[in-house]
């Protein structure tokens, strides 16, 4: 029983993150925001706090960076390639959210098939989470902290209800002496993890394949970043992202 709930929690907790890839690891110290005018990298801690790219220009903490012609072309290429990538990143993230809610909904249906309030709560939570990705055309930003907080809150709200439902059903079967009902509850709990995994596996595998396709594209962005001659005031490189293969 604990394994079933843990499976659902792990799937749901993974939803805000970029889909796991078997061939690369993508990391950045920055939050990324895309608008029709620019791409902005920002962070709460560390220097610089803000890096803005626009048509070959680079602003670092509000100051225009002095770039060579070659660096301007690298910045322009970085922005162009990032704009092409981010819509697919958004689509992958949305699919991860949908897969996570599919898993949690199946848990709820299996353990609490008659709890309409719980089903409605799940649907409301799904809509709330997806609303965070509802942005104007040409814009892209994922507030990972907000998404993670929503997921954590949802798991905290749903899990006690699920445990309560199965506990109530088990106690009712035990006190009534209905051995058939008790065996059915036990069978349902034991089979649920495998049933849920079977339902989401095809979509999860397809999602992983889509993420893998992006690996060389992120590696190319990382190479452009590393190739910049421009250096910060402390002599360090921008290091906007890291793509390890």
Domain-located, residue 244: no
Half-sphere exposure of 58 (CA within 13 A, CB side): 27
Q: What is the pLDDT of residues 181-217, one digit of tens each?
A: 667 766 666 666 676 777 777 888 888 888 888 888 8
- 54 pairs with which residues across the strands? 57
Looking at the structure of the chain, the number of domains it has is: 1
- Each as own residue / partner, the long-range contacts of residues 176-179 (CB below 8 Å, 24 or more positions apart, any chain) are none
* Residue 14, token pair as written in the block: 């993974």
- 53 pairs with which residues across the strands? 39, 58
Does the pLDDT value for residue 13 go beyond 60? no
Domain-located, residue 34: no
Q: What's the rounded mean pLDDT across residues 219-244?
A: 91
* Amino acid 8: pLDDT: 36
Domain-located, residue 122: yes
Q: Name which of 39, 163, 164, 154 is nearest 89 in CA terms.
A: 39
DSSP three-state, residue 130: helix
* Amino acid 80: pLDDT: 93
Domain-located, residue 102: yes
Q: What is the pLDDT of residues 20-38, one digit of tens each?
A: 444 567 788 888 888 888 9
Band (pLDDT 50/70/90 cuts) for residue 220 is very high
Q: Name which of 89, 115, 119 is nearest 101 in CA terms.
A: 119
DSSP three-state, residue 31: strand
Domain-located, residue 198: yes
Name the least confident of 1-15, 40-54, 92-106, 203-217. Answer: 1-15
CA distance 240 to 242: 7
Q: What is the pLDDT of residues 56-91, one digit of tens each?
A: 999 999 999 999 999 999 999 999 998 888 888 778
Residue 125, judged by CB atoms within 10 A of its CB (0-12, 13-18, 19+), counts as buried
The pTM of this model reads 0.68
User: Sign (positive/negative) of CA torsion 31, 34, 37, 38?
Assistant: positive
* CB distance 72 to 56 below 8 Å: yes
Domain-located, residue 10: yes
Q: What is the pLDDT of residues 95-118, one digit of tens each?
A: 877 887 787 777 777 766 777 877
Q: What's the rounded mean pLDDT across residues 139-165?
A: 68
Band (pLDDT 50/70/90 cuts) for residue 166 is low
- Residue range(s) defining the domain that contains residue 204: 2-22+87-232
> What percent of the chain has pLDDT above 90?
23
Domain-located, residue 79: no
What number of residues does the chain have?
A: 245
Domain-located, residue 195: yes
What are the φ/ψ torsions at residue 29 (nearest 5 degrees)?
Answer: -85, 0
């Amino acid at each position: 029983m604990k394994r079933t709930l843990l499976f659902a929690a792990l799937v749901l907790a993974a939803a805000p993150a970029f889909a796991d890839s078997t061939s690369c690891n993508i990391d950045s110290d920055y939050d990324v925001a895309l608008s029709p005018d620019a791409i902005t990298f920002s962070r709460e801690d560390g220097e610089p706090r803000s890096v803005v790219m626009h048509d070959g220009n680079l602003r670092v903490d509000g100051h225009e960076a002095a770039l060579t012609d070659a660096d301007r072309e690298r910045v322009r290429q970085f922005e162009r390639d990032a704009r092409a990538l981010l819509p697919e990143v958004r689509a992958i993230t949305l699919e991860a959210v949908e897969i996570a809610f599919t898993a949690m909904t199946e848990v709820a249906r299996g353990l609490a098939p008659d709890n309409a309030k719980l089903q409605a709560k799940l649907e409301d939570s799904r809509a709330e989470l997806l609303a965070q990705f509802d942005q104007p055309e040409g814009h892209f930003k994922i507030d990972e902290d907000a998404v993670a907080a929503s997921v954590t809150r949802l798991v905290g709200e749903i899990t006690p209800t699920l445990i309560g439902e199965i506990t109530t059903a088990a106690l009712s079967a035990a006190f009534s002496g209905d051995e058939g009902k008790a065996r059915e509850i036990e069978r349902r709990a034991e089979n649920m993890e495998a049933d849920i995994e079977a339902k989401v596996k095809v979509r999860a595998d397809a999602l992983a394949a889509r993420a893998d396709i992006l690996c060389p594209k992120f590696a190319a962005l990382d190479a452009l970043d590393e190739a910049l001659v421009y250096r910060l005031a402390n002599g360090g490189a921008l290091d906007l992202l890291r793509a390890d293969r």
